[in-house]
Amino acid sequence: MNSKRALLSTEALVPRITEGATSQLERMRAIWVWLCHNIEYDVDGLLGLSEKIHTPQQVLQTGKGVCSGYAHLCREMCKEAGLTCIEVSGRGRGAGYCQGRSCPEPKSNHMWNAVELEDQWFLLDVCWGAGLVDVEKRLFVPRHDDFFFLTDPEDFVESHWPDDPAWQLLQPSIPLEVFEKKVFKTPEFFKMELSLLSADTSLLQTKHGEAMVSLASLCSVEFTYQLLKVCPDGSKEDAGKTHGMLTMAEKKMSLRVFPPTEGLFDLQIFARLSSSRKPYSWVCSFQIECLESHGNEALPKSPFSFWGLHPKAKEYGIKGCNWEGDLTLAATGMLKLALKTQRPLLATYELVHRDVDDSLSRKCLVSQAEDEKLSCHVLCPFLGYYRLSVFVKGLGEDSFQNTANFLIRCLGPVNHNELFPLGLSTHCGAGINTRWRGLSNPSHTNAIINTKKGQCTITFHTQPGFEITATLGKDKMINQSYPMERYVLITHLENKVSVSVLLPESGLYRVGLYGRSAESEEFTHVCDYVIRCFTNPRWLPFPKVYSCWKRGCVLLQPRTGILPEKSWVGFRIKMPTAHSAHVVGHSRTELKQGQNKVWEGNVYSGLAGSTLKVAAKFSRESPSMDVILSFDVEGSLSTTDDASG
């Protein structure tokens, strides 16, 4: 025993610690602080390993005590300070309390104090204000908590029920059976100014395999939870985050729980202020009795603690969403997410389903970033639940922030042959990237182009000297007679570019646009488009285009690069800077310049297997001509459409 403690007495101690106090409240506060920082809980006494320490002198001498020891010493110290203080016995619901169950003991299990200050009674619990007990480690954990100092009676009665109802200091008082059934709330619940929107009932029963709780807050709060299966032997197993759906608004939280089996489950709710980066704090608990399992598959795994838009979505630049509620149905396996933005944002997306791997998920999403909108087309190839997570960042920012997590339920999956092509970037369709490259007035703003004819032309207005090139790709070609680059023809005019595309067969294609300015040597990616056609177009390709195809050159006729044999074909090509032009095959045919600087003439195609080349001289001083286009001659053309397009 500490020799200095052996000499302690309330008569000597209280005047010393209350010296300088000028009011009853200040004297009470001094006593509270000293007790919370100098007395430890008697853990061995609690566990029956030694005789409990509870008399004031024993507590002073040992520096330890059970709850009655704290209360007795507090009363004696208050008496010495001239304060009226009593002990209050009753039932306490602390950290080890099992919510939703009646207290089997007919007698009280806890003790605290009431003190009269300036003719008004207040409640306090020094024992709980001093710290916590770790029963498994047989340790007292000091943790000063002012919540239990002069606590509001309406908050105090959530965890303390006195044997004498008068000491609730409430009118009317709360019956014991109501106290036992109330939701178990920790001090953090009140410190964060939380409130229940769902019923204040700790024991919940599922309806159709589902239970729901909802909380509100006066300030912005983030939430998470833990669902524990209560086993027959009393142990508990973590059920994970795949059986609950947490949706957070700015000042509201709703949690739908789908227990995976019948039986009992503990549900613990955790929270923290949105402005804080501290760990989440336990705020309240429920017990769920699952009478009938939900019967559906588990929700997709998620490392994030919420569904829907993030409570801080506005801070991230998101001001609205076209999906309402916490669950979105995809009746046909196809849907589109659209987010309104306060400023230009970039976004990435993650689609998760138990049967969808990373490679397949990339074929399920097409994203577009515009100045005031983010959008994402989603395809669902399997039945069941999907998680679509959205990550955004501002232009020039380094890292993406998780901004939303949406739950999708697919009722009718799309055919795997109708998934998007691989290789799509996050910049699809017209948007931030095309504007940044100086492209304007797009003919197609949407990222997906649907065509029944199997052809389209994408146009942009361009800055002077800006040049575009394009690629066309399809994941799996059934019949590929010609290179894919032959199905794209690019035409540059003074301030406009057009990308003409023909499709050789049905399916989904990726068109990749690349650009460079007059000062650049390398082409860099601008954007992608998806072209979707489920008819059977079977277009023949364009002619092969050579590097001398100059700005301002326009192919008017023939638009197909495959010509029938032994036929006369009309040629019309606009080449404003050309001085002469010929078509060279089995013979040379000179083209004549007509109106609007269009070179034209009729050319005999010759035999199948031959090639016709268009050559032009763009400089009078040049001794030779440059080949700009070439056409293939075939005996029979396997197209059902007008190949001249």
Do 361 and 406 fall into the same domain?
A: yes
Supply the CATH number for residue 414's domain: 2.60.40.10
Query: Do 225 and 276 reside in the same domain of the chain?
Result: yes
pLDDT at residue 100 in the model: 41
The dihedral over CA atoms of 149, 152, 156, 161, expressed in degrees to the nearest 10, equals 110
Structural tokens at position 130 = 């001093």
In a domain, 645, yes or no: no
- One domain for residues 345 and 199: no
Domain count, the chain: 5
Report the pLDDT value the prediction gives residue 551, as an integer from 0 to 100: 83
Q: In this structure, are 202 and 282 located in the same domain?
A: yes
Q: Considering the domain boundaries, does residue 604 fall inside one?
A: yes
Instruction: Please tell me whether residues 568 and 590 are part of one structural domain.
Output: yes
Q: Is residue 644 domain-resident?
A: no
Does some domain include residue 10? yes
Same domain for 548 and 596, yes or no, is: yes
Q: Tell me whether residue 384 is in a domain.
A: yes
Q: Do residues 448 and 369 both lie within one domain?
A: no
Mean pLDDT (the chain, rounded): 91
- Alpha carbon 255 to its chain's center: 16
Q: Are residues 34 and 167 in the same domain?
A: yes
Residue range 403-422: average pLDDT?
Answer: 94
pLDDT top residue among 487 and 304: 487
Q: Do residues 356 and 364 lie in contact, with contact meaning Cβ atoms separated by under 8 Å?
A: yes
Question: What pLDDT score was predicted for residue 540?
Answer: 95
Residue 181 counted as domain residue: no
CA dist., res. 371 & res. 425, Å (int): 17
Q: For 78-100, how does the pLDDT look when each residue is reduced to its tens digit (9 = 90+)?
A: 999 999 999 999 999 875 544 44
Percent of the chain exceeding pLDDT 70 equals 95
Last residue of a domain, one of 500, 533, 566: 533
Q: Could you tell me the CA-to-CA distances from 75 to 88, 199, 221, 373 in Å, in that order?
A: 10, 38, 39, 65
Residue 277's pLDDT band (boundaries 50, 70, 90)?
confident
524-533/448-450 β-pairing: parallel
Boundary residue ending a domain (274, 290, 306): 290
pTM for this predicted structure: 0.72
Q: Side chain identity at 595, as an amino acid letter?
A: Q
How far, in Å, CA of 186 to CA of 178, rounded?
17
Looking at the structure, tell me whether residues 33 and 142 fall in a common domain.
Answer: yes
pLDDT at 645: 36
Residue 56 lies in a domain: yes
Residue 229, domain extent? 194-290
Tens of pLDDT, residue by residue over 146-168, are 999 999 999 999 999 999 999 99
Higher model confidence: residue 23 or residue 640?
23
Confidence at residue 642, expressed as pLDDT on a 0 to 100 scale: 42
Please check whether residue 214 lies inside any domain of the structure: yes
CATH number of the domain enclosing 162: 3.10.620
Which residues have C-beta within 8 Å of that of residue 621, sequence separation ≥ 6?
Answer: none
β-sheet bridge partners, residue 514:
469, 525
Cα–Cα distance, 564 to 550 (Å, whole number):
27
Residue 247: pLDDT over 90: no
Q: What is the pLDDT of residue 102?
A: 43
Of 361, 383, 418, the one marking the end of a domain is 418
State which amino acid sits at residue 281. S
Query: Are 397 and 333 in the same domain?
Result: yes
Cis peptide before 172 (omega within 30 of 0): yes
33 lies in the same domain as 147: yes
- Measured N-to-C along each axis, helices 10-17 and 24-38 cross at an angle, to the nearest 10 degrees, of 120
Assess whether 87 and 37 both reside in one domain.
Answer: yes
